[in-house]
């Protein structure tokens, strides 16, 4: 039996049972699950092992990369910056008006909202690059900005698994002067003690759990040029897991934190932009962030996807029963969600990766158990 630690408020015991069942089914190495309801943590569970040798217990200080679950957090930073502009910048502002080089190859009319909702046509590099380029964010952002789009921007959408973060990171720097990870740390996380970072200081590297990669490839459906560029070339992603990868900022992929930290940040979606009693993003700013930007057959993923300005809306019902829930999953199974009707946020993190693109069965068991308690 795997030891489960942490705390749970009476009435949520079925969530603990579901968390334990994931281990009993031998589906986990180590994991955490957290729930915040009406701004109060009601579940914060840890279990299993932080290392592949099973010598270091996963505890409340263990952090792990959450991969694309990071996107929903990066989107909050962009929303904060637009909010602070006092209407000068909106999701209808063109990217090229702040980043002239982005206008290359006919991308001059792409808006911030389109870029954030995967409509820019830049899911990856079709021509070979040195994979080390991914480890130099400014150079990588410039190289992506110079690319021709794979479809006419604004006419369709296709998931940008890695490139999204370099584009969003450069946008944040151009607006504010600081990096996106710095803004997140200084303006959102540090004031209230949230354990989540994009760009991890070396002092925190020892807390990072080992990642056990998926045992099988994901089902990407019918392969096309966009899918191949996004996922299937030898240069489609950086070398993930080394010290450099942890330390640099990739707002699409390398946020590190605890389940409670992720749940706290997705709590802004659950509470209309409020965090710990403070209005971080205005109601109008949250409305603009969370409304639908696009819905339809994704050109990269084998799903019909619905995107707000940087994260998914719950059109497939994978994140509970509320279609208004805002959520995102990460490579291997992590997820964060914010349900604005119930003022509920939740996050699942783990280090044994599955091959599910979204809707990992372990997370779904936890979500089902959670909503069964409400």
313 found inside a domain: yes
| pTM metric for this prediction | 0.98
72 found inside a domain: yes
161 found inside a domain: yes
Give the tens place of pLDDT for each residue, 263-287.
999 999 999 999 999 999 999 999 9
10 found inside a domain: no
Total domains in the fold of the chain: 1
Position 1 pLDDT exceeds 90: no
342 found inside a domain: no
Residue 186 belongs to domain with CATH number:
3.40.710.10
Average pLDDT over residues 212-216: 89
45 found inside a domain: no
Q: What pLDDT score does 275 carry?
A: 96
207 found inside a domain: yes
- Place 314 in a pLDDT band, splitting at 50, 70 and 90: very high
Q: Which range marks the domain in which residue 235 is found?
A: 60-333
- For the chain, what percent of residues have pLDDT higher than 90? 96
Q: Rounded to the nearest 5 degrees, what angle is found at the Cα of 307, between the Cα atoms of 69 and 144? A: 75
Please indicate whether residue 68 is annotated as part of the active site.
Answer: yes
Identify the active-site residue in 68, 334, 345, 354: 68
CB of 72 closer than 8 Å to CB of 266: yes
362 found inside a domain: no
């Amino acid at each position: 039996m795997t030891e489960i630690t942490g705390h749970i408020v009476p009435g949520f015991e079925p969530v603990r049972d579901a968390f334990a069942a994931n281990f009993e089914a031998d589906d986990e190495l180590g994991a955490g699950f957290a729930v915040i309801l009406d701004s109060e943590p009601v579940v914060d569970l840890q279990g299993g092992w932080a290392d592949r040798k099973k010598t270091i217990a996963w505890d409340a200080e263990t952090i792990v990369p959450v991969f694309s679950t990071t996107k929903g957090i990066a989107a909050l930073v962009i929303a904060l910056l637009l909010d602070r502009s006092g209407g000068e910048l909106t999701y209808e502002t063109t990217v090229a008006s702040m980043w002239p080089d982005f206008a290359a190859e006919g991308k001059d009319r792409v808006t911030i909202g389109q870029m954030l909702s995967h409509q820019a046509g830049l899911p990856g590099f079709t021509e070979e690059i040195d994979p080390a380029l991914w480890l130099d964010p400014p150079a990588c952002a410039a190289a992506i900005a110079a690319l021709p789009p794979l479809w006419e921007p604004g006419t369709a959408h296709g998931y940008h698994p890695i490139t999204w973060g370099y584009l969003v990171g450069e946008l944040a720097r151009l607006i504010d002067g600081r990096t996106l990870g710095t803004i997140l740390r200084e303006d959102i996380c540090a004031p209230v003690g949230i354990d989540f970072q994009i760009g991890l200081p070396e002092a925190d590297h020892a807390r990072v759990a080992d990642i056990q990669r998926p045992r099988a490839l994901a089902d990407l459906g019918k392969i096309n040029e966009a899918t191949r560029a996004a996922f299937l070339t030898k240069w489609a992603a950086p070398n993930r897991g080394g010290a450099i990868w942890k330390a640099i900022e990739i707002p699409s992929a390398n946020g590190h934190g605890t389940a409670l930290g992720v749940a706290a940040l997705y709590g802004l979606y659950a509470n209309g932009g409020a965090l710990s009693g403070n209005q971080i993003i205005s109601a109008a700013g949250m409305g603009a962030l969370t409304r639908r930007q696009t819905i339809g057959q994704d050109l990269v993923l084998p799903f019909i996807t619905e995107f707000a300005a940087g994260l998914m809306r719950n059109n497939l019902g994978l994140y509970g029963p509320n279609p208004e829930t805002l959520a995102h999953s990460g490579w291997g199974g992590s997820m964060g969600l914010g349900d604005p009707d119930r003022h509920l946020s939740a996050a699942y993190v783990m280090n044994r990766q599955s091959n599910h693109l979204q809707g990992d069965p372990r997370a779904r068991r936890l979500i089902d158990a959670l909503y069964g308690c409400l």
